[in-house]
Structure 1
């Protein structure tokens, strides 16, 4: 049982390491949020049209279960389907290039840590700052997205 717990703990660390560690935003002086959002949507639509999803799947044998620990067949844990979109990097690059051509500058914000949030709520940033700031980080929303918050402005 101890081995199973250790394996699950290691699996949790590996899976959490796969999550995003930053959020990219775009900023341009003297541009309203509406205009910035409209430009972002236009660039994203153009990227999606030029590089549509090209998803490839493959069955990957699973490893785990008690059989793997006690000399049994390592594939005893079953298998899972792994999906990969071959065009995702191209869409991301085109989006970045398009926003740069429109005069925006890319700003990378870290994802907020649990320690930073510590169960408190903070004010959302209405407009991305023009540069990286130690008080600004991206918090995950309940809908699965992210929003920028200012750690120096608790609610």
Structure 2
């Protein structure tokens, strides 16, 4: 009974390693995207500033009596702020896409220059992980 669950979790973990999701607009550089994202984040933060709410939850003893309380804090504007930033990016022409990581057999020992301006996505475009944990796009149809 546990084996299908474990298998499913392993497949999900492996599946997440084969591609990454990002906001994307053809013709934009990574710097331009970062500037647009920062401007949208600022817009969202200005319109939906943090609104911290504290809720007190009772703590019961074994006889069902309230013996104490614990506080939980959360930001009621977190969801609307995230939505506003996402909508701002959509209005600027960005869409969320999934880009596959390059497979070893696709690279076949060849070197590729990173793509500086976001190209039309196609089967020759894939991502490479950088040493610092980032990602770059390469065009497999244009080896060095």
Q: Give the shorter-chain TM-score range.
A: 0.5 to 0.7
The verdict on how the C-alpha distance between 1:146 and 1:28 changes in structure 2, with shifts beyond 3 A counting, is closer
- Structure with greater strand percent: 2
Structure 1 residue 28 displacement after superposition: 5.5
Structure 1 residue 146 displacement after superposition: 0.6
Structure 1 residue 117 displacement after superposition: 1.9
Structure 1 residue 95 displacement after superposition: 4.7
2:29 and 2:116 in contact (8 A); partners too: no
Task: Show the counterpart of 1:19.
Answer: 17
Using the size of structure 2 for normalisation, the TM-score is: 0.53
Using the size of structure 1 for normalisation, the TM-score is: 0.50
The verdict on how the C-alpha distance between 1:28 and 1:154 changes in structure 2, with shifts beyond 3 A counting, is closer
Cα-Cα RMSD = 3.6
Greater Rg by CA: 2
How many residues matched? 106
Task: Show the counterpart of 2:139.
Answer: 150
Matched, 1:120 2:110: yes
Structure 2 gaps of 5+ residues are: 1-6, 51-77
Task: Show the counterpart of 2:100.
Answer: 110
Structure 1 residue 116 displacement after superposition: 1.3
Structure 1 gaps of 5+ residues are: 1-9, 53-86
1:22-33 to structure 2, matched below 5 A, reads 22-27=20-25
